[in-house]
Homo-oligomer: A and B are copies of this chain.
């Protein structure tokens, strides 16, 4: 059976991405990254809950706290405050963690080469994201070429971004179609018990549910 690694942060995007990989008949392996983000523990719980939901056997949780040491983002440097939501995506927000997704994909590729996975699913969203440069299709295309050049000749690994062109609204509608367990997800950048409702991620989530005409299950 063909195998895919799914990058699962514990948010809605990675949850729906897992549902896509599951529908594509891949044997799933889940990878989660802790990088010193404020809500690390809550995200890990969401990862575990989603992995249990899909009965995933192969799981890898990697600490990349060096991103915390490197800093440069309000998500990894506690001295930089999390700003209130600003959904103008003409500029790159301070929540951008420099080149984070390349770090994550490099780890996923190393693991994929060892466990013989031939796909990496990542829930990046280009259009409706916060303007992060490492969420664009051109970045993933470039990374896939890097994998081709930097791994063994027999290694074949595709990067699959099933929701890259979807809006948050469409992601939520698709999640319902695919029975993705959105009730197990966590999005807030700031709090671990109740979503703050103020950060970029909360604002994007709220707007998505509102536009989809669906009640957010974690607020029920």
Contact = CB atoms under 8 A, between A and B. Distances in A.
Interface stretch (A49-57, A142-150, A196-204): A142-150
Interface in A104-156: 105-107, 109-111, 113-114, 133-134, 136, 138-139, 141-143, 145-153
Given A69-B60, A72-B113, A136 B149 contact: yes
Nearest to A109: B99
B92 A100 contact: no
A149 B153 contact: no
A91 B139 CA distance: 31
A150 B142 contact: yes
Contact of A70 (B60, B64, B66, B143): B60
A151 B109 CA distance: 20
Interface residues of A, number: 44
Contacts of A113: 72, 98-99
Given A69-B60, A99-B113, A145 B142 contact: yes
A183 to B, nearest CB: 30
List the 4 closest A-B pairs by CB distance, nearest first: A72-B114, A98-B113, A134-B150, A62-B66
27 contacts: A63-B66, A64-B64, A71-B114, A72-B114, A92-B152, A98-B110, A99-B106, A99-B113, A99-B151, A100-B110, A101-B150, A102-B102, A102-B147, A105-B106, A133-B149, A133-B153, A134-B151, A136-B150, A138-B149, A139-B149, A139-B150, A141-B149, A142-B142, A142-B146, A142-B148, A143-B150, A146-B146
